[in-house]
Amino acid sequence: MSKQEAIRNAASAVKAHGFSLPADIDKQIAGLENPQYRVAVVGKFQVGKSTLINKVFYGDKPLLSKGHGIPTTAVATDSEYGPESKLEVFDWSNTEHTTETLVKTVSNPTEDDVKAATVATATETRAELAKKRARVRIQVPNESLKGYTVIDTPGLDDPNQELLDNTTWRIIPGADVALLVVEGDRMLGDRQLGLLRKEIMGRNGISRLMILASFNPRKMDQDAEDRKAILTTIKAQLASIGRDNIPVEMYCFDSSIEDIMSDVSEIRMTIRQFLSDNALPGREEKVSNLLRAEIEKDLVEVAAKLKTIGSSEADRATLAAKVETEVARFKEKAERAFARFQDEVKALNDDTMHDVDLAVEAVFDKFYAELAEKETVDAMKKVLSKAESTLKSDLQDKVSIISLKLKSEIARFVEKYGNEMEEGRRTWNVFVSDEFQIKKPVAAKIPTIVWTALEVGLLNVILPFGWITAIIGHLLVGNAFNPAAWLVKKEILREVGDALDEAKPEVRTQIMQQIDAGIQKTFTDVKAAMEASNKAQVEAIRSAIAAEPAGSGDRAALESAKADLEAALAAL
C-alpha cells in the first residue's frame, strides 16, 4: 500500500465512524491529487530571497522588489505558472482571516505594480497592510514554475512580530518544502536555527528543506577556502541539531566565481531537482503526522466509551478517579526523572568552562603568533585589518566543537531521561491496556531534544576589540603614521598582546552565558515535552468518561470503530 493510499484509507475510517477531521487536514489530503506544491522561500530581509526568485523563476523580467537597507515587504507573494503574465491582489474579506476576495487584477505587471501591492516603509503602514492583505499572486509563462507555487515572504528578522504572524508564520505550516536563504559569509544565526528546530521542522511544520547560502562578491571579501569553511560550519551546525540530512548549497550570480553555483541554469536545475525529490514526500509526511494525531485521540475516546457502556454515575466516577491517580503517578515519576536529568546536565558545566577557557586561549594565541610571524609593518597591517573577522570565525569553529561535544553528552542524558520516562509511563500503558483494552496503547514519546550553544548565536558576542580600531588608525592613516614608533615590531606586539589578555575574560564570560542560556532552553524544551506527553489522549479519556455513556446497542459500532482506527494507525 502506498503512503497516499494509507492516508486516504485512514481518513475514510475516521469519517466512517462519525469523527470529523479539521478542515486543513481535509484540504491537504485533497491536495495529494494533482498537487500544486507550495514552496516557501524564507530568510532574513535583504538576504537575497527576491533576487533568487527573480533570477531563477522570472528570468529576464524581474518582478519582486529588492530591499534597500530596511524591511519593506509586508505581504506574502505567490509566483505560479500561467499562460499570460498577470498580477492578482487578494484581501481578507472577514476579520477571522479565513476568506479572501480578489480586489485587483493587472495584466503584464511591472515591478512597480508588484511593489505597490506588497511594499510599505512606515512601520504602522506595513502592519496594516499585512493585516488587510491576504496575498498577492503573480502568474508568468515560465515553465520552471509548473507544478509549484513559490512564495516570497517577509524577512525572519522583521521587527514587527504581528506582521510575521500574519505572513511568514502563517505561510510556513501550509508549505510542502522550504528554501532557506542565508548569508554566504557566516554561519547560521539563532533565529535561523530556531526556525529549523521549531517553526519549520516541528510536528506540523515542513519536513523537507534546502539551505541556499547567497554569496555576493561585491559585498563579501572571501576566497574559495573561506566559502568552503562557511559551508562546513553550516553543515556542522545542522548536524549538531540533528538536521544533517538538510542539503546546503552556496550560489551567486557572478560567472567568474567557479567554486560554487554561479550559472542561473545550474541554480535552477539544482532547486528543481530538490523540489522534484522532496515536495511529494514532504506533503505526505505532514498529512500523515497530522492524521496520526487525530486518530490517536479518536481511538482513546472510542475505547473510553466502550468502557463506560452500561456504567452508573458512581462507576464512572470511580473510573475517573483511577485515571487521575495514574496521571498523578506518572507526573510524579516524571518530575523525579527530570530533576535527575537537570542535575546531570548541570554537572557538565565545569568541564565545559574549562573547554571554553582553552578555546579562547588557543584562538587568541594563534592570532598573536600569526601576527608575530610577519616581517613588515604592512604585513602586520593586513593581519590587523581582518582581526575581528578572523578571531570571531576561529572562535565560532572552536565553540562549534565544544557545542557538538556538549550536545552529545546532553543527548546521552536526554536518552537516559527518556528511558526513565518510558519506565514511568509503563504503568500508564498497562492501565490503558487493562482498563480500555486498546490493542496498541498510544503513548506520546518524548521527542528527541537537541541542543547547541550556537543556537543562541556567537554572532551575538560583542568582541571587546576597540584596540583594533585604535591600532589600525595609527597604522593606516598616513598623517598619523610615525615610523619611529610603529616600525618597532615588538611595540606593536606588546600593544596587541596586552589588548588580547584584557579581552579574554570578557569573551569567555559571553560564551559561557550563551552556553548557559542554551542549557536552560534545553531544560525548558524537555520539561514542555514531558508535560505534553499523553495530554491529548488523557483529555479524550476524561471527556468520554464525563459524557453521557453510550447505550449497549452501540457496542458493536464502537468495537468496529476501534478495530478500524487501530488498523489505520498501524498503516500510517
pLDDT tier at 485, thresholds 50, 70, 90: very low
Q: What's the confidence (pLDDT) of residue 150? A: 94
pLDDT tier at 321, thresholds 50, 70, 90: very high
Query: What end-to-end distance do the CA atoms of the chain give, in Å?
Result: 10
Query: Quick check: 444 and 366 in contact, CB under 8 A?
Result: no
Structure-derived torsion over alpha carbons of residues 156, 160, 163, 165, reported in degrees to the nearest 10: 70
CA 522 → CA 326, 347, 413, 518, 529, distances in Å?
Answer: 27, 15, 11, 6, 11
CA 464 → CA 443, 461, 500, 512, distances in Å?
Answer: 50, 9, 9, 16
Structure-derived torsion over alpha carbons of residues 169, 175, 177, 182, reported in degrees to the nearest 10: -30
Q: Where are the domains of the chain?
A: 311-548
Does residue 537 or residue 450 have the better pLDDT? 537
CA 59 → CA 64, 251, 256, 400, 526, distances in Å?
Answer: 12, 16, 20, 39, 47
Cα separation, 205 vs 221, whole angstroms:
36
Q: What's the confidence (pLDDT) of residue 66? A: 62
Radius of gyration of the chain (CA): 29
Q: What's the confidence (pLDDT) of residue 236? A: 86
Query: Quick check: 439 and 567 in contact, CB under 8 A?
Result: no
As a whole number, the mean pLDDT across the chain is 80
Q: Which three cell numbers stand for residue 110?
A: 511591472
Of 233-237, 250-254, 296-300, 430-434, give the lowest mean pLDDT range: 430-434
Span 220-240, mean pLDDT?
A: 86
Specify which of 167-171, 509-513, 567-571 reaches the highest per-range mean pLDDT.
567-571
234-263 pLDDT, tens digit each: 988 888 777 888 999 999 998 889 899 999
pLDDT tier at 429, thresholds 50, 70, 90: confident
Chain CA centroid to CA 53, Å: 21
